[in-house]
A and B are shown apart, each in its own frame.
Chain A
Amino acid sequence: MPDEKANQPPLVRLRNLSKHFGEGETRVDALRDVSLDVQAGEVIALLGPSGSGKTTLLNIIGCILDPSSGSMELDGEVVLRDGRWVRPNLRRLRLDKIGFIFQFHNLMPFLDATDNVALVLQMAGVDPREARLRALELLDYLEVGNRRGSMPAQLSGGEAQRVAIARALANKPRIILADEPTAALDSKRAGIVMDLLRKVAVERDAAIIAVTHDEKIFDRFDRIFNLRDGRLDV
């Protein structure tokens, strides 16, 4: 990571983030005092056994799960303070600042590749014609421009995941959360997808946080964090 980027404020800043489910004897601490800074251009991995809190952490960073305590800043904006959301419209925040990549691409099966990407742009208020043009540019950027009119069912796993990445990038988010992005791909395609994510992080100045179990791509990450019993170990 270049030194000048290390001096910039982090795109994702977590401080003493905790989350527990239930109370008393049934209380389960999913996250305990997690603090983490992720810089622009960084690609980091969250590892850990099942139930270690990886998805809980991803959900909180994605603003879809309320934490029990802690603070969070996304792209320089305080969104969570002392366990309470201070940013009013979290849905809009997700639309504008966070891109999601899923294990099974989660493309809309009734839209072709271009419209799957354009949909996100249109939801953000971009004119439909402009949205299609930008979607086509993104598909070209991710080297699936030749499948622009294909329905998700007609795409290979790797192609579908690239379209999903294009959709995640559509609104130029600076934070990209990926949930097992290569789990459904073979090692060759997994490598291609990770190279693309790295390219996106560098060229678009974005931070990528991925939950993964996929050992064959560990070398593609800048930092790898282990979650054990809700605690984060570098």
Chain B
Amino acid sequence: MNLAYRDIRHGLGRFLLTCVGLGLLLGVVLAMIGIYRGLVVEALTIARAPAVDLWVVEANTRGPFAEASRIPADTREAIARIAGVVAAGSITYQTVEAEYQDRKLRLYVIGYEPTRPGGPPEIEEGHTIARSHFEMVADRSSGLVPRDRVRLGRDTFTVVGSTRQQVSSGGDPVVYIALQDAQKLQFDLAPPAARVQLARGTGGTGRDTVNAVIARLHPNASPDAVAETVRRWKHLAAVTQEAQELILTRSLVDRARRQIGLFTSLLLAVSAVVIALIIYTMTMEKLKQIATLKLIGAPDRTIIGMIVQQALALGLIGFAIGATLIASIKDYFPRRVVLEPDNVLALGVVVVVVCLLASALGVRAALRIDPATALGG
């Protein structure tokens, strides 16, 4: 006869309500872990999108994400000629706000050369940029879909394709446009300012500047060796892909990552205390029954089994509710929530361990109950 099951069945409504409460709490823990993972994944998305091995940026900077970087666009031709480089492309990054359907749309604009590295990794709908001007590939999270038209700067762009889950480290949806359009958007002065510059005699400066040149290397080429070659040009710096990812996670999102990590740890500690309290209270409510069981000769394993099984049932059902809840609503979060199986499993293991530790408190209390408590009123 399973006493834990019978007791749960007897007070099923109350038990399930407790499970739902615990499930919500564990759901929040899981969401925070997902947000934490999402933050790291999002930070790396843009750096990983072009699938390159080397980033060439302005000297003495760790650009183009952690710091501003501007280098001449013709750097790409010099980089492409280095031994070991298979392909190179110029690229620009900027954040713009555009009007779309009477609302402000914050976009992270990537300018790239359509036939070279730097473009969208995968087109989910439509096609990639086919014309040299005024076409755009937009991430679905922006709300833009193929055939939409949106004004950036002084030009109107037509959305020709959609990507999925391409956002900046700040969570802004990414749009890809042709490099020349991006350069115009980033470096062209507004007409009045341009006229002032012309009048001063300083106008007409070239806008052929990019934020970085990216390079794909031959599989046998060493990124460090090629980076060393690039650094011989004093006006350039080179960062390998590995180093770029490290910059992003250690520098750009480090504080946010640590903040969320700390908050998640606190939530986990709170959950542990709540689980312990619930299980301890559940045991305390059954003191008279436990005393009676001991008095009539129930072995310790019967009492321990009842407490431990109920604690595990509570934890696992609560965890299942929390995990199901977050898995169902994670796509509605404004920023990406990444639930990786190993993270979910790790939390499940933590919940089991917490339940066992919490039930140990209850078991200790139960085993110390004097069976004589059952006698008398």
Please give the residue numbers on chain A whose beta carbons come within 8 Å of chain B beta carbons, in ascending order.
55, 58-59, 62, 64-65, 91-96, 100, 102-104, 106, 108-111, 115, 118-120, 122-124, 128, 151, 167, 179-180
User: CA–CA, A96 to B292, complex, Å?
Assistant: 15
Residues of B contacting A59 in the complex (Cβ-Cβ under 8 angstroms): 372, 375
CB distance from B369 to the nearest CB of A (A): 11
Does B377 interact with chain A (Cβ within 8 Å)?
yes
Residues of A contacting B376 in the complex (Cβ-Cβ under 8 angstroms): 55, 103, 179-180
- CB contact between B289 and one of A109, A123, A151, A167 (< 8 Å): that residue: A109
User: CA–CA, A102 to B373, complex, Å?
Assistant: 11
Residues of B contacting A55 in the complex (Cβ-Cβ under 8 angstroms): 372, 375-376
- B1 and A119 contacting across the interface, CB-CB below 8 Å: yes
- B296 and A94 contacting across the interface, CB-CB below 8 Å: yes
Question: Nearest 10 pairs between A and B by C-beta?
Answer: A95-B297, A110-B10, A94-B297, A110-B7, A106-B292, A64-B371, A179-B375, A110-B6, A59-B372, A91-B297
Residue of B nearest to A103 (CB): B377
Residues of B contacting A119 in the complex (Cβ-Cβ under 8 angstroms): 1, 3
- A122 and B299 contacting across the interface, CB-CB below 8 Å: no
Does B9 interact with chain A (Cβ within 8 Å)?
yes
- CB contact between A91 and one of B1, B10, B294 (< 8 Å): that residue: B294
Does B61 interact with chain A (Cβ within 8 Å)?
no
- B372 and A65 contacting across the interface, CB-CB below 8 Å: yes
| Overall SS of chain B's interface | helix
Residues of A contacting B293 in the complex (Cβ-Cβ under 8 angstroms): 108
Does B288 interact with chain A (Cβ within 8 Å)?
yes
- B289 and A108 contacting across the interface, CB-CB below 8 Å: yes
User: CA–CA, A179 to B6, complex, Å?
Assistant: 27
CB distance from A67 to the nearest CB of B (A): 13
- CB contact between A120 and one of B288, B296, B370 (< 8 Å): that residue: B296
- A64 and B372 contacting across the interface, CB-CB below 8 Å: yes
Residues of A contacting B219 in the complex (Cβ-Cβ under 8 angstroms): none
Please give the residue numbers on chain B whose beta carbons come within 8 Å of chain A beta carbons, in ascending order.
1, 3, 6-7, 9-11, 288-289, 292-299, 302, 370-372, 374-377
User: CA–CA, A103 to B292, complex, Å?
Assistant: 12
- B375 and A94 contacting across the interface, CB-CB below 8 Å: no
Residues of B contacting A96 in the complex (Cβ-Cβ under 8 angstroms): 297
Residues of A contacting B296 in the complex (Cβ-Cβ under 8 angstroms): 94-95, 100, 120, 123, 167
Residues of A contacting B297 in the complex (Cβ-Cβ under 8 angstroms): 91-96, 120, 123-124
- CB contact between A109 and one of B10, B295, B372 (< 8 Å): that residue: B10
- CB contact between B298 and one of A102, A110, A123 (< 8 Å): that residue: A123
- B292 and A115 contacting across the interface, CB-CB below 8 Å: no
Residues of A contacting B370 in the complex (Cβ-Cβ under 8 angstroms): 64
User: CA–CA, A14 to B297, complex, Å?
Assistant: 22
- A123 and B299 contacting across the interface, CB-CB below 8 Å: yes
- B377 and A122 contacting across the interface, CB-CB below 8 Å: no
Chosen A-B contacts, 29 in total, with CB atoms closer than 8 Å, are A59-B372, A62-B375, A91-B299, A92-B297, A93-B297, A94-B295, A94-B297, A95-B298, A100-B295, A100-B296, A100-B375, A102-B292, A102-B375, A103-B377, A104-B377, A106-B289, A108-B3, A108-B289, A108-B292, A108-B293, A109-B10, A110-B6, A120-B296, A122-B1, A123-B296, A123-B302, A124-B297, A179-B375, A179-B376
- With A111-B6, A123-B299, A123-B302 as given contacts, are A106 and B374 in contact (CB-CB < 8 Å)? yes
Name which of A95, A102, A120, A180 has the most chain B CB atoms within 10 A of its CB: A102
CB distance from A195 to the nearest CB of B (A): 23
- B1 and A128 contacting across the interface, CB-CB below 8 Å: yes
CB distance from B112 to the nearest CB of A (A): 67
CB distance from A197 to the nearest CB of B (A): 17
- B1 and A115 contacting across the interface, CB-CB below 8 Å: yes
**Can you add 6 more A-B contacts, CB < 8 Å, to A59-B375, A100-B374, A123-B299?**
A103-B376, A110-B9, A119-B1, A120-B297, A122-B1, A180-B376
